[in-house]
Amino acid sequence: MRYLFERNIHLFHKSMPTPNSDDRPYSQKNPRNLTPQQYERLTAEMAAPYRPLRQVVYVACGASGFIGGLVFLAKIASGREVSSTLPNFALQVGVVALMVLLFRWEQRAARRSSKQK
């Protein structure tokens, strides 16, 4: 009796795929039957959630800093209130530099994650 039980268990395990094997059908790897492009995009989003949103925020804040920098540069060029305008201009330049740095950092991370695939 034990032999029959072990034999049936062995047959059962042989027919079932292992959890991380590549011999599973496509539908079991992709339970919602997504196209390969959709599946790849979703896995990339899982690896780096909200990356596109962060990039939009970096561009928006950089543009805001650039416009502010132009305003303060015009005030400096006109010669009005230079002592209080200069620190504000430096702050705007710092914001733009920080946003450029963060945006480039995101781009490098995106390239690295796409190369690993």
pTM above 0.75, yes or no: no
pLDDT at res. 62: 97
Both structure tokens of 107: 């781009």
Q: Categorize the per-residue pLDDT at 22 as very low, low, confident or very high, splitting at 50, 70 and 90.
A: low
Q: Where are the domains of the chain?
A: 35-116
Sign of the Cα torsion 47, 53, 57, 58 reads positive
- Of residues 4 and 37, more confidently modeled: 37
Nearest CA to 20 out of 9, 29, 32 is that of 29
pLDDT at 30: 60
Under a CB-based contact definition with an 8 Å cutoff, are residues 113 and 47 in contact? yes
